[in-house]
Amino acid sequence: MSKRLSKSQLVAAMAEKWGVSKKDAEEMYNKLVELVYSEIKSCGEIMLPGLGKMAKKHRAERMGRNPATGETIKIPAKTVVKFAVNKAAKDALL
């Protein structure tokens, strides 16, 4: 199994595929990331066709256990980001 791509390797691969400079590819990548962040912040979710849906979810307060001591602790509520892969991506990868 090969190692995952670093950001610079991903940008280089995008630049080669699209026939643009690495600088332009990095700028496009950064703009995409900014767009995803702003959409999730404003709408709560974004659908990435062919990949899946990234959505902001509220996780309620719950009781947990400290694995080291076994003590019961209260885990506070928080907002998390979830990513659900769609069927097309699953079919392409499995």
Residues 57 and 89 in one domain: yes
pLDDT tens-digit series, residues 8-39? 999 999 999 999 999 999 999 999 999 999 99
Residues 35 and 61 in one domain: no
Residues 55 and 73 in one domain: yes
Query: Phi/psi zone of residue 52: left (φ > 0), alpha (ψ -120 to 50 degrees), beta?
Result: left
* Residue in this structure with the two tokens 């643009």, named with its chain if needed: 20
CATH of the domain at 73: 4.10.520.10
Residues 21 and 58 in one domain: no
Tell me the residue range of the domain where 72 lies: 51-94
pLDDT tens-digit series, residues 37-72? 999 999 999 999 999 999 999 999 999 999 999 999
Residues 66 and 87 in one domain: yes
